[in-house]
Structure 1
Amino acid sequence: MLKVPSGFPQDFLWGGAVAANQCEGAWDVDGKGASVADINEFVDDIAVDKKENGEITAEYVRGALAAGPERIFPKRWGIDFYHTYPEDLKLLAGMGLKTFRTSIDWARIFPNGDDAEPNEAGLAFYDRLFDEIRANGMEPLVTISHYEMPIALTLNYTGWYSREVIDFFVRYCQVVFDRYASKVKYWVVANQVNFVALESFNHLGVAADKVDDLLSAKYQAVHHELLAMAKATKYAHEHHPGLQIGVMVGGSLAYPASSKPADVLATMRHNQMECFCTDILLRGTYPGYATHFFEERGIHVEVSDEDLAVWADPATLGDFFAMSYYYTDMVTAEGFAKDNRGQRNPNLEASPWGWAVDPQGFRFMLNEYYDRYQKPVFILENGLGAYDTVEEDGSIHDDYRIAYLRAHIEQMREAIKDGVDIRGYYAWGPIDIVSCSSSEMSKRYGFIYVDLDDYGCGTGERSLKDSYAWYKQVIATNGEDLG
């Protein structure tokens, strides 16, 4: 008999997510090399809604690596999670988290990317970290590449644009799969792999002054990354068949800006290109719409028959679909023709950083992606970056964060009723960490407050926000009590 699900599955994974480069710090400790995130600079004289990680040149990279203390690179110290993780994980476990997502910093394992041997001190750190996650009753979910490419691969090569990086990355994946297969079941090979424009350098490591045609170089770089991801997934499936390998995108499907047929068609094409990477890694085919898109825009990507054969192998396909979700955009025909980026929706309120708050868009995307792939779904990031105020008594009343998360969890529950097979939900930044896009500490997501400012000043003391108790109750009632 047909029946609509009444709530969340009994084995639903309620969790929280961070990235190594935003929390660990210790950027030059125990043999770690510099990563692309370690040259993300905090600049305080730019409007917050204009801050993002844009294009970077090799000249800038060299200058950042040689810079003195007058320049601020907050991801180099993060929240010192490298040293505080035992205490932090106890606080997170106190909420009842069933799972915790983090990443392995590539530059901590292969400091230069092309090293002959991995760095044992880095491997040992993640042994301790994953053991501690499990000891606190949480299932680890690990991202292998989360904006942590060794910076040497951008200077000595050209990031993912250099085909040699495929083999370097596959070897890195093999090392971590072999080392941690008994400790980590759930893996995501690369974070938000569709972010070709939004996190171009952080994602791809292509310095703008090292290529002649940057747009073509970006898509060639993504092509190489997708090949490497497929090969790594095949290795995991063949050597460690118990592992579950996911493919993750940044949720970025858009609405038409109007009912004009040109805007509707442009939106369809925009959304197709946002599914380009997952169509390859979950369907195993190179989509014709992408070839058409490249031809129209004069984008040159070299794709061989041997490359296509890699993706045609079922062993290279991911086991689950994963996404982050923060906001929605609108698309116009003119905007699509210009750069395929969306624009803000005037019908939605936005955070100070210009991110539109759209809980119903969450349900929309969950349905659209699930209809397309029919794979189990994990929401690996969702949260509200906001300014928090510490009251005189030390309390932090973040009712705005609770309201945001409540509305999104309600829509996630509706998506389950729609038939979407959602397995887990990971609130982004359950403890305050450095912002990815703006390198700020003041853009806070956490249930746990960390006393550090944008310049790394403060006690580092941890304290609980009101949202901590709220999320604890959500987990304890399996999403029934949303306060």
Structure 2
Amino acid sequence: MKELQNGFPKDFLWGGAIAANQAEGAWDAEGKGPGLADVEILPEKYSRQNIVGFYHTKEEIEKALSDKEGYYPRRSAIDFYHRFEEDLELMKGMGFKCFRTSFNWPRIFPKGNEAEPNEAGLKFYDRLIDSMLEKNIEPVMTISHYEMPLYLATEYNGWRSRETIDFFLNLCRVLFERYQNKVKYWIIINQVNMAKDWSEFASLGMLKDSFADDRNSAVYQALHHQLVASAKAKKLAKEISPKMQIGMMNGEDFVYPATCKPEDVFAAMERNRMNNYFCSDVLVRGEYPGYVCKYFKDHHITVEITEEDEKVLKENTVDFLSFSYYFTQTLSAGDAKRPQPNPYIEKSIWGWATDPLGLRHSLNQYWDRYGLPIFIAENGLGALDEVTEDGKIHDQYRIDYLAAHIKAIKEAIKDGVQVFGYASWGSIDIISCSQGEMSKRYGYIYVDLDDRGKGSGKRLKKDSYYWYQKVIESNGEII
């Protein structure tokens, strides 16, 4: 009988994750062009339960670019662009084995359709990646994390255009060739499966006033272009260097059936397939599954899929699977397929259910379905942290959340699941993706900035910093 792992592997990649657009700032420095995230203004009022922005008309975008009064938090963020050495040194102090971040596409190709990259932008990533390696931190690099050049959105309608595949592959080629001996693990597109339900979100780059045809068909066509681009990127990477490991990433959106009523169980199964497994089925198994084809037919969705598309998908499946995990919900057949909070689970102030057993469940489900190595690309608790008079941040609530989820990962490993890394979100406080506020904090490191970007920018270690330091040092034995 196969001997199972009894704890975290010796070479387990402990670390954290951020996104370039939420951390770097320097939005127009050294030739960088504007990206989708750079036109997101901080609302005067917002709901903690909703995502705002990322869905505009061309006129609204032009107005944002000329606006001199509004506060656009991602334009300055936490100034990681200028302070990454200090921040990486703090991560090294925790013992990080890996650090996941992303390339800011318009920093490298300001408009997105240029033939040659912006060398100044690449030199920033040279310095960033070299600094990680000097500190023995494995870079885990995401190529696209809601950072499309604004020009591709306004002039090409983002991923709705097949031309965007070639623009993206041009970016991939530059990155693969430049960093083939420095970056082993690559995630092509962040949370690719979320695009079809978050079409207002930045992942597709489609304009609000661009739906001349059927909206659903347009969204799924754009998603198809992302899937094809992912497969072509895998092909390109292996041609440049077979050593590079290419992964896909889901945003885990699992729902439990609200009851054991067969209709509820089936409704949950249907939603989990379309929301969780659709994109991973395509990128891991290499073809569109029958349930997606049926869904398209039943909902009169038309997607142009060429024979070349089918061939490249089939022949270029990914090396590993990654996903983000934050919460679970429930679903019944009678609620218009809108997930509801689980009454048995405690929720954060942002309405996200704390469900560590759900993480173990998801790990087992993905492993049973695909048998691929798994990297947890995001997991964390957004909370309102307070600094005491003596400069301390006592975030026991974060420690409790992360400890429970790390224990769940350990149990999944005992179940036989091959998990090779964990990058909690985020390693340092950054601008929130949901609303753009700073007060929703995830990090082990506090950044002294408020929602309007005011403050010293000073970095402070939270209690969770020292806790995670011990977790890593003990390889997950001390939790």
Report SS of the residue matched to 1:409: helix
Query: Matched residues in 1 for 2:302 and 2:352: separation?
Result: 32
Report SS of the residue matched to 1:471: helix
Query: Matched residues in 2 for 1:136 and 1:188: separation?
Result: 21
| Residue in structure 1 matched with residue 79 of structure 2 by the alignment | 80
CA contact (8 A) 1:53 1:198 kept: no
The alpha carbon displacement at 1:68 in A equals 2.1
Query: Matched residues in 2 for 1:52 and 1:413: separation?
Result: 35
Report SS of the residue matched to 1:201: coil
Match of 1:178, as an amino acid? E
How many residues are matched? 476
| Residue in structure 2 matched with residue 449 of structure 1 by the alignment | 446
CA contact (8 A) 2:46 2:435 kept: no
Report SS of the residue matched to 2:201: helix
The alpha carbon displacement at 1:44 in A equals 3.6
1:63 correspondence with 2:60 = no
Match of 1:6, as an amino acid? N
The alpha carbon displacement at 1:469 in A equals 0.3
Match of 1:478, as an amino acid? N
Query: Matched residues in 2 for 1:288 and 1:176: separation?
Result: 35
Structure 1 window deviating more from structure 2 (60-69 vs 370-379): it is: 60-69
1:373 correspondence with 2:370 = yes
| Residue in structure 1 matched with residue 389 of structure 2 by the alignment | 392
Normalising by structure 2, we get a TM-score of 0.97
| Residue in structure 1 matched with residue 283 of structure 2 by the alignment | 281
The alpha carbon displacement at 1:341 in A equals 4.7
Normalising by structure 1, we get a TM-score of 0.96
| Residue in structure 2 matched with residue 423 of structure 1 by the alignment | 420
| Residue in structure 2 matched with residue 438 of structure 1 by the alignment | 435
The alpha carbon displacement at 1:54 in A equals 5.8
Query: Matched residues in 2 for 1:254 and 1:438: separation?
Result: 24
Query: Matched residues in 1 for 2:145 and 2:14: separation?
Result: 21
Cα 1:345–1:285 shift into 2, 3 Å: same
CA contact (8 A) 1:200 1:218 kept: no
The alpha carbon displacement at 1:122 in A equals 0.5
Structure 1 window deviating more from structure 2 (462-471 vs 251-260): it is: 251-260
Report SS of the residue matched to 1:14: strand
Report SS of the residue matched to 2:421: strand
The alpha carbon displacement at 1:258 in A equals 1.6
Query: Matched residues in 2 for 1:330 and 1:396: separation?
Result: 34
Q: Deviations over 1:312-367 (max 9, x none)?
A: 21xx11100001000112122244xx4x5522222211111111111111111111
Query: Matched residues in 1 for 2:366 and 2:53: separation?
Result: 26
CA contact (8 A) 1:33 1:112 kept: yes
Q: Deviations over 1:227-265 (max 9, x none)?
A: 111111101012211100011001112111122222111
Report SS of the residue matched to 1:371: helix
CA RMSD of aligned residues (A): 1.3
Report SS of the residue matched to 2:158: coil
CA contact (8 A) 1:56 1:201 kept: no
Cα 1:123–1:16 shift into 2, 3 Å: same
| Residue in structure 2 matched with residue 121 of structure 1 by the alignment | 120
Match of 2:25, as an amino acid? G
| Residue in structure 1 matched with residue 272 of structure 2 by the alignment | 271
CA contact (8 A) 2:347 2:353 kept: yes
Unaligned runs of 5+ in 1: none
| Residue in structure 2 matched with residue 364 of structure 1 by the alignment | 361
CA contact (8 A) 1:208 1:214 kept: no
Report SS of the residue matched to 1:179: helix
Report SS of the residue matched to 1:434: coil
User: Aligned ranges for residues 200-211 of structure 1 at < 5 Å?
Assistant: 200-211=200-211
Cα 1:367–1:52 shift into 2, 3 Å: farther
Aligned-residue sequence identity (percent) comes to: 54
User: Aligned ranges for residues 207-286 of structure 1 at < 5 Å?
Assistant: 207-212=207-212, 213-273=214-274, 274-286=276-288
| Residue in structure 2 matched with residue 187 of structure 1 by the alignment | 186
The alpha carbon displacement at 1:464 in A equals 0.5
The alpha carbon displacement at 1:187 in A equals 0.4
Query: Matched residues in 2 for 1:283 and 1:81: separation?
Result: 37
Query: Matched residues in 2 for 1:162 and 1:376: separation?
Result: 32
Query: Matched residues in 1 for 2:36 and 2:89: separation?
Result: 30
Cα 1:199–1:353 shift into 2, 3 Å: farther
Report SS of the residue matched to 1:160: helix
Query: Matched residues in 1 for 2:87 and 2:199: separation?
Result: 28
Query: Matched residues in 2 for 1:471 and 1:450: separation?
Result: 18
| Residue in structure 1 matched with residue 305 of structure 2 by the alignment | 303
Query: Matched residues in 2 for 1:154 and 1:436: separation?
Result: 19
User: Aligned ranges for residues 31-42 of structure 1 at < 5 Å?
Assistant: 31-42=31-42
Cα 1:51–1:262 shift into 2, 3 Å: same
Q: Deviations over 1:154-179 (max 9, x none)?
A: 10111000111011001110111001
Report SS of the residue matched to 2:14: strand
Match of 2:95, as an amino acid? G
Query: Matched residues in 1 for 2:334 and 2:221: separation?
Result: 25
CA contact (8 A) 2:54 2:201 kept: yes
Query: Matched residues in 1 for 2:160 and 2:51: separation?
Result: 25
Query: Matched residues in 2 for 1:74 and 1:223: separation?
Result: 31
